[in-house]
Amino acid sequence: MGCFFSKRRKAEESRPESEEEQPKQYSWDQREKVDPKDYMFSGLKDETVGRLPGKVAGQQFLIQDCENCNIYIFDHSATITIDDCTNCIIFLGPVKGSVFFRNCRDCKCTLACQQFRVRDCRKLEVFLCCATQPIIESSTNIKFGCFQWYYPELAFQFKDAGLSIFNNTWSNIHDFTPVSGELNWSLLPEDAAVQDYVPVPTTEELKAVRVSTEANKSIVPISRGQRQKTSDESCLVVLFAGDYTIANARKLIDEMVGKHFFLVQTKEVSMKPEDAQRVFREKAPDFLPLLNKGPVIALEFNGDGAVEGCQHIVNEIFNGTKMFVSENKEKASGDVDSFYNFADIQMGI
């Protein structure tokens, strides 16, 4: 009986040189190589540049040392850092992590992200969707408005970035370095049109993205945020998870705004039974079975007659759809405070 190993050795010795054993191929060896230059705009001047949907696909991106440029990132990304840019117009699609501006001035921007931070900047105008509290540091003359933008791929990019269009704290700014008697940030005029700040691109390549800056088409609902309320009467509406929840929320917003009520703020968050007891009080048993289906969407409307107006629309258009609507204007303020206090604590705001 021959030795197994001696047979294998003889076979290896008799193998032609052209058939030498090739190194093993692993899945990570076969991944497409990432060229950092594809995820960077650096040292540009007087140019219009961008990335089309699908070209960034969740990678990190860097923008630095650009002057008098129009920059459009029509895709979702991991993080984006903008350093040392002057007099630039910038659009950033949904960013899963942070957007960080450093040492920039005279820039106009529209962007959506999980975290937003500005340091050592001056004179930025930002139309923002941010899931957490925006932060400025050692910066002056920073102005904020609500994100207002649409193109067909944008809704899917929000999902890919793990962002909700209803979680937007664009106006709840924290200044790490406040100066006594001065305000380093402010809100843009309520009638500010994003097109006047961040216009739609006109180059042939970027025109392929079908952009709209019309307010009623914005993928993110346009809210008043921290602006002074026009009325003492607010109304809370909570929609529960289902196949048409987002569509119903959008329809309700359109109907209420069409009747001249104001959308103050929105939130998408998971609720526990104890949260429901605190917010819905005696009505909680009606809604507890719905909490397991997924996060709820909450909307706050403001204006004289908001509670009655909202109840009428819900009964007329959404009859048969389970929603919580403030019962009367006396209770409505407490409803709003109870819900958003719990939601902000849960989201760490």
CATH number of the domain within which 241 lies:
3.30.70.141
> Which amino acid, residue 1?
M
Say yes or no: 44 and 174 in one domain: yes
Say yes or no: 188 and 242 in one domain: no
Closest CA to 249 of 295, 286, 213, 284: 295
Is the CB of residue 252 less than 8 Å from the CB of residue 236? no
The single-letter DSSP state of residue 152 is: T
Whole-number pLDDT of residue 22 = 61
Is residue 29, in this structure, part of any structural domain at all? Answer: no
Is residue 229, in this structure, part of any structural domain at all? Answer: no
Residue 311 annotated as binding site: no
Say yes or no: 213 and 239 in one domain: no
Whole-number pLDDT of residue 5 = 46
Residues in the chain: 349
Say yes or no: 172 and 199 in one domain: yes
Number of domains in the chain: 2
Spans in the chain with pLDDT lower than 70? 1-32, 348-349
Q: For residue 239, list its beta bridge partners.
A: 297, 323
Among candidate residues 217, 247, 281, the one where a domain is terminated: 217
Write b or e for each residue in 301-316: b if 16 or more Cβ atoms lie within 10 A of its Cβ, otherwise e.
Answer: bbbeebbebbbebbee
Among candidate residues 158, 191, 217, the one where a domain is terminated: 217
Say yes or no: 256 and 210 in one domain: no
Residue 27 annotated as binding site: no
CATH code where residue 125 lies: 2.160.20.70
Q: Is 58 left (phi over 0), alpha (psi -120 to 50) or beta?
A: left
Say yes or no: 196 and 105 in one domain: yes
Q: Are strands 80-83 and 70-73 parallel, antiparallel or unpaired?
A: unpaired
Residue for token pair 């102005």: 143
Is the CB of residue 174 less than 8 Å from the CB of residue 117? no
CA separation for the pair 278, 233 (Å, rounded): 21
Among candidate residues 191, 217, 243, the one where a domain is terminated: 217
Per-residue model confidence as pLDDT tens digits over 58-105? 999 999 999 999 999 999 999 999 999 999 999 999 999 999 999 999
Say yes or no: 182 and 319 in one domain: no
Whole-number pLDDT of residue 177 = 95
Whole-number pLDDT of residue 7 = 47
Is residue 1, in this structure, part of any structural domain at all? Answer: no
Classify residue 130 by burial, with Cβ atoms within 10 Å: 0-12, 13-18, 19+.
buried
Residue 116 annotated as binding site: yes
Say yes or no: 86 and 181 in one domain: yes
Q: Which domain holds residue 138?
A: 36-217
Per-residue model confidence as pLDDT tens digits over 187-217? 999 999 999 999 999 999 999 999 999 998 9
> Which amino acid, residue 171?
S
In degrees, rounded to 5, the angle at the alpha carbon of residue 81 between the alpha carbons of residues 39 and 166 is 100
Is the CB of residue 98 less than 8 Å from the CB of residue 113? yes
Is residue 298, in this structure, part of any structural domain at all? Answer: yes
Residue 97 annotated as binding site: yes
